[in-house]
Amino acid sequence: MKNIITFGTFDVFHVGHINILERAASYGDNLIVGISSDELSFSKKKRYPIYCQSDRMKIINSLRCVNKVFIEEYLELKLDYIKQYNATLLVMGDDWIGSFDWVKKVCDVIYLPRTPSISTTEIIEIVGLMPK
């Protein structure tokens, strides 16, 4: 059994999210997704997610390609999460290229190309610009 792990906020779910999750799942047998807590997302992105962590968990957990979800509380616990879930491969989008090379002491790391032209930030901006 090969366990794959990935991490992210996955707020305002979009096609770039499903693309990376499906591609990550194709590298092994089980896909485990660490979903950034609301506080961790705030510390990374300087705004709170639109969808709260329990809703984001529920959405990701409902996907066919996902086997397990958990809340990632602290970036510093990355290695502990990887060990806890027996993951042998960490998959991230290439916006993070190089950032997780330090976990290579416990598992392999690959960065997959992001889906072009879509992000949660851009969706929020576009919706905010819509005429009322």
Residues that bind ligand CTP (CB under 6 A): 8-10, 16-17, 20, 45, 92-93, 95, 114-115, 118-121
Return the number of the residue (68 or 114) whose C-beta is nearest ligand CTP. 114
Return the number of the residue (67 or 119) whose C-beta is nearest ligand CTP. 119
To the query of whether residue 44 is one of the catalytic residues in this protein, the response is yes
Q: How far apart are CA 79 and CA 110, in angstroms?
A: 16
Hunting for tokens 């958990």 — which residue is that? 70
Closest CA relative to residue 15, chosen from 116, 121, 129: 116
Return the number of the residue (3 or 24) whose C-beta is nearest ligand CTP. 24
Hunting for tokens 């993951």 — which residue is that? 87
**Shortest Å, Cβ 84 to ligand CTP:** 20
Q: Could you tell me the two tokens for 8?
A: 């992210």
